């Protein structure tokens, strides 16, 4: 959806959430898979992690994607427009790491809202 009738919906959502003062710094470590040598089958390039600082929130009581959040999990929501990302935002993936308010977790599942303004990540602590 992104741009709807000339309105930057993701930017508008991010601006209003940020203005409310309810977002925190979230550290997202986004992993890129290594590359295997087709002849030997061994990794010729190791997996690497790139660290981004984004704005978001943590919710320990969110009704999760398939029902209530499991004990020990947390949901982290991040805005695509309040980040140190490049012009093309990085989509969080399962296996990425997040830290918010000193609590860290590993991303298990990611969903994006219909306006493409935020990502919601179900994370295992």
Distances (CA, A) of 82 to 32, 59, 68: 22, 19, 28
Give the model's pLDDT for residue 1: 46
Looking at per-residue confidence, does 59 or 11 come out higher? Answer: 59
In contact, 30 and 49? CB cutoff 8 Å: yes
Level-2 CATH architecture, domain 3-124: Beta Barrel (2.40)
The pTM score is 0.71
Distances (CA, A) of 48 to 17, 19, 31, 43, 91: 31, 34, 6, 12, 16
Mean pLDDT across 7-15: 65
Write out pLDDT tens, residues 60-96.
Answer: 765 556 665 566 688 898 877 655 555 566 789 999 9
Give the model's pLDDT for residue 18: 58
Mean pLDDT across 102-110: 92
């Amino acid at each position: 959806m992104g741009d709807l009738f000339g309105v930057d919906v993701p930017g508008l959502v991010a601006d209003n959430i940020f203005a409310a003062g309810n977002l925190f710094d979230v550290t997202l470590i986004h992993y890129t898979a290594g590359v295997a040598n087709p002849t030997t089958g061994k990794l010729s390039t190791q997996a690497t992690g790139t660290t981004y600082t984004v704005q978001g929130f943590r919710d320990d009581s969110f009704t999760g994607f398939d029902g209530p959040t499991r004990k020990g999990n947390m949901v982290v929501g991040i805005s695509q427009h309040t980040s140190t990302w490049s012009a093309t935002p990085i989509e969080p993936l399962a296996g990425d790491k997040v830290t918010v308010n000193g609590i860290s977790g590993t991303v298990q599942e990611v969903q994006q809202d219909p306006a493409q303004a935020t990502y919601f990540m179900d994370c295992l602590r």
